[in-house]
Amino acid sequence: MTTHEDAITGEAGERYARALFELAEDAGALAAVEKDVDALLAALFESVELARALTSPIHSSAGKGAALAAVADKLKAQDLTKQFLGVVADNGRAGDLKSVLRAFKILAAKKRGSVSADVVTADVLTQAQLKELQTALKTALGRDVEIRTEVREELIGGLIVKVGSRMFDSSLKTKLEGLRKTMKEA
């Protein structure tokens, strides 16, 4: 791992992401592969069944590879992306795919001179809310910020923002858990 700001969920995720990034850069296909990565991340967040299948020990590496190939075909992904997904599945790392894709996004943002922020909310953010959040983060960090969003209804309200290894959690769920802990101690 490199600096705290570059902290990525796991070493394997970072290695695979770096490999894909370097291959895409060498092939002159970085922008196209990044579009594939965005589409794959969206597919993983939209399809709970797909995400579960990739992490489940019940399904074989070959089965996970076939599922990823089908998704890549449906998304009309680049050949490089398809081959990479095959390698990930063959090496038994399909369960790490989400962290690999996020790590790739961090590398791509860094290449552009921006920073990536993962934002988790209870509801889908409007374009106005996204723009306001992006402006606030740019002011706080002093750099352009690329925001990736995820919706988790269990947060009830508020949001969680993660930039590198820094995290700000203002979710209602966390506040209620803190209140419950305080009440138990009293």
E-strand ranges in the chain read 115-121, 145-151, 159-163, 166-169
State the average pLDDT over residues 83-105.
93
pTM of the entire predicted model:
0.69
* Mean pLDDT within 49-71: 93
Judged against a pLDDT cut of 90, whether residue 10 lies above it is answered with no
Q: Answer whether residue 24 shows pLDDT above 80.
A: yes
What percentage of the chain carries pLDDT values higher than 70?
Answer: 95
Distance CA 174, CA 14 (A): 29
CA angle 18, 22, 25 (to 5 degrees): 135
